[in-house]
């Protein structure tokens, strides 16, 4: 059977660089099929469980619509709907869900939980975000980069902000797998953990990528093709005061975009979303009242600028998740994965 059949996507490092690149290209192919109304019902008759311990707009919407367009039935099981980890162990839940569903998506806190689901369910499990990794986001993100530049290798993507969260970890490792130079620009207290840097360096030595971790904004953003940021306080965290203080100098604004020195047609801005760029939410009003700021990780000016690609990136969540589900569970044959470009 094909190289992807029956496998789970729990963290990027579980796949080879060539396999990750294949999923990026397969996502672009499925996007073209969808935009041309060509059917691609590779999951006809399958049932997919969508487990969410944390809130989600994009991941839930992407998995739901992707499953339906692939011919499968998605079933949402929220934190208050099932007993997972409360009255019933991850192991027992996994065994039961594996008897009924053909595949399981999990978004939650602990990486160990998504790994437990994979271990005991016997069906493919896809990590829809944990505190450590956000692998499905990576396929969408590098689809977006490839759509813009036509290639991946040799580009420089600079992530500015909380260098210890799931997005920083995933970008550092996945970019290094794909030959993209990832710069993590963050205050020292928020630099990535040593084990994450070690994984990235191992892949970088295979692909020629040049990862960099620095607190020096000027050096970090220079020559970048992609400026990327994420929220300063991730789901499950509460350390607002500390983050606002540490990360205010790291806000993505027009001065930072210019500091790249990159020509306009070679420079884009990305954000996994949700973004804090104005006060048009209850959350925004609260932060303004408490900290006196109306913008956080990115200014509204950059968010609405010609550099912005986050809406394409959000759409690509759906096509990339289709690629991941179809490759690992679908009725299609992928004979071999071509080498990295
Ligand atoms: N980017 C992302 O994962 O968005 P959601 O939290 O809305 O799913
Ligand atoms: N780092 C963010 C990503 C949201 C998609 C969080 O975990 O909340």
The string of pLDDT tens digits covering residues 302-337 is 999 999 999 999 999 999 999 999 999 998 888 788
CA-wise closest residue to 180 among 161, 165, 158, 164: 158
Residues in contact with ligand 1 (CB, 6 Å cut-off)? 56-59, 129, 137, 272-274
Question: Does the pLDDT of residue 7 top 80, yes or no?
Answer: yes
Nearest-5° Cα angle at 132, 129 to 228: 75
| pLDDT for 83 | 87
pTM beyond 0.95: the answer is yes
CA distance 117 to 10: 10
CA-wise closest residue to 291 among 240, 228, 255: 240
CATH T-level topology, domain 12-133+316-329: Rossmann fold (3.40.50)
CB atoms within 10 A of CB 81: 11
272 lines ligand 2 (CB under 6 A): yes
Average pLDDT, the chain: 96
CB 208 within 8 A of CB 178: no
The model's pLDDT over 27-50, given as tens digits with 9 standing for 90+, comes to: 999 999 999 999 999 999 999 999
Ligand 1 atom with the shortest distance to the CA of 57: 7
| pLDDT for 336 | 80
- Ligand closest to Cα of 55 equals 1
| pLDDT for 109 | 97
Cα torsion 167, 173, 179, 183: sign: positive
| pLDDT for 196 | 98
45: left (phi over 0), alpha (psi -120 to 50) or beta: left
Number of H helices, E strands in the chain: 13, 9
Classify 308 as helix, strand or coil.
Answer: strand
- Helices 111-121 and 90-100 pack at an angle, to 10 degrees, of 50
165 lines ligand 2 (CB under 6 A): yes
The model's pLDDT over 203-246, given as tens digits with 9 standing for 90+, comes to: 999 999 999 999 999 999 999 999 999 999 999 999 999 999 99
55: left (phi over 0), alpha (psi -120 to 50) or beta: beta
The model's pLDDT over 55-113, given as tens digits with 9 standing for 90+, comes to: 999 999 999 999 999 999 999 999 999 988 889 999 999 999 999 999 999 999 999 99
Same fold, 12-133+316-329 and 137-315: yes
The model's pLDDT over 257-307, given as tens digits with 9 standing for 90+, comes to: 999 999 999 999 999 999 999 888 888 898 889 999 999 999 999 999 999
In the block, which residue shows the tokens 């059977």?
Answer: 1
58 is known to lie in a ligand binding site? yes
| pLDDT for 331 | 80
Burial class (CB in 10 A: 0-12, 13-18, 19+), 129: buried
Would you state the structure tokens that stand for residue 304, as one six-digit string? 């609405």
What is the 41 CA–ligand 2 centroid distance (Å)?
A: 30
| pLDDT for 296 | 94
All structural domains of the chain with their residue ranges: 12-133+316-329, 137-315
166 is known to lie in a ligand binding site? yes
What is the 200 CA–ligand 2 centroid distance (Å)?
A: 20
The model's confidence at residue 19, banded by pLDDT at 50, 70 and 90, is very high
CA distance 142 to 155: 11
What is the 261 CA–ligand 1 centroid distance (Å)?
A: 31
Classify 335 as helix, strand or coil.
Answer: coil
ipTM surpassing 0.90, yes or no? yes
CB 240 within 8 A of CB 291: yes
83 is known to lie in a ligand binding site? yes
Mark whether 134 is an active-site residue.
yes
Expressed in angstroms, the distance from the first to the final Cα of the chain is 24
CA distance 81 to 158: 39
Classify 188 as helix, strand or coil.
Answer: helix
Mark whether 5 is an active-site residue.
no
With respect to CATH, is domain 137-315 assigned 3.40.50.720? Answer: no
- Ligand closest to Cα of 57 equals 1
Which is it for strands 212-214 and 226-229: parallel, antiparallel or unpaired? unpaired
164 is known to lie in a ligand binding site? no
CA distance 189 to 91: 36
Helices (H), the chain: 17-35, 58-69, 90-100, 111-121, 135-149, 166-177, 194-207, 217-221, 240-247, 254-259, 282-291, 300-303, 310-329
Question: Does the pLDDT of residue 186 top 90, yes or no?
Answer: yes
| pLDDT for 337 | 86
Of 273, 316, 317, best ligand 1 pocket probe by most atoms within 8 Å of the beta carbon: 273
- Helices 135-149 and 310-329 pack at an angle, to 10 degrees, of 120
CA distance 297 to 295: 7
The model's pLDDT over 150-178, given as tens digits with 9 standing for 90+, comes to: 999 999 999 999 999 999 999 999 999 99
The model's confidence at residue 1, banded by pLDDT at 50, 70 and 90, is low
Catalytic residue among 137, 141, 309, 310: 137
The model's pLDDT over 113-148, given as tens digits with 9 standing for 90+, comes to: 999 999 999 999 999 999 999 999 999 999 999 999
Question: Does the pLDDT of residue 198 top 70, yes or no?
Answer: yes
């Amino acid at each position: 059977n094909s190289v992807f059949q029956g496998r789970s996507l729990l963290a990027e490092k579980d796949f080879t660089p060539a396999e990750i690149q294949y999923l990026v290209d397969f996502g672009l192919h499925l996007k073209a099929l969808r935009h041309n109304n060509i059917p691609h019902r590779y999951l006809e008759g399958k049932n997919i469980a969508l487990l969410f311990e944390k809130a989600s707009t994009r991941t839930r919407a992407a998995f739901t619509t992707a499953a339906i367009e692939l011919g499968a039935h998605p079933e949402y099981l929220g934190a208050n709907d099932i007993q997972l980890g409360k009255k019933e162990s991850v192991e027992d839940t996994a065994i039961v869900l594996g008897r009924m569903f053909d595949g399981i998506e999990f978004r939650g806190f602990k990486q160990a939980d998504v790994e437990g689901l994979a271990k005991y369910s016997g069906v493919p499990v896809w990590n829809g975000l944990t505190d450590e990794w956000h692998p499905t986001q990576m396929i969408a993100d590098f689809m977006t980069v490839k759509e813009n530049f036509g290639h991946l290798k040799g580009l420089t993507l600079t992530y500015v902000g909380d260098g210890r969260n799931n997005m920083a970890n995933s970008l550092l490792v996945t970019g290094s797998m794909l030959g993209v130079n990832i710069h993590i620009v963050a205050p020292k207290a928020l630099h990535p953990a040593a084990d994450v840097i070690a994984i990235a360096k191992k892949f970088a030595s295979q692909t020629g990528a040049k990862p960099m971790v620095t607190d020096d904004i000027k050096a970090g953003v220079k020559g970048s093709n992609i400026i990327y940021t994420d929220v300063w306080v991730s789901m499950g965290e509460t350390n607002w005061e500390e983050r606002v203080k540490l990360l205010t100098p790291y806000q993505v604004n027009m001065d930072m975009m210019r500091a790249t020195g990159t020509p306009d047609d070679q420079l884009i801005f990305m954000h996994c979303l949700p973004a804090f760029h104005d006060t048009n939410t209850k959350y925004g009003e609260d932060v303004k009242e408490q900290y006196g700021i109306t913008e956080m990780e990115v200014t509204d000016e950059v968010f609405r600028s010609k550099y912005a690609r986050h809406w394409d990136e959000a759409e690509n969540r759906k096509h990339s998740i289709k690629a991941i589900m179809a490759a690992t569970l679908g009725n299609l044959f992928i004979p071999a994965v071509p080498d990295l470009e």
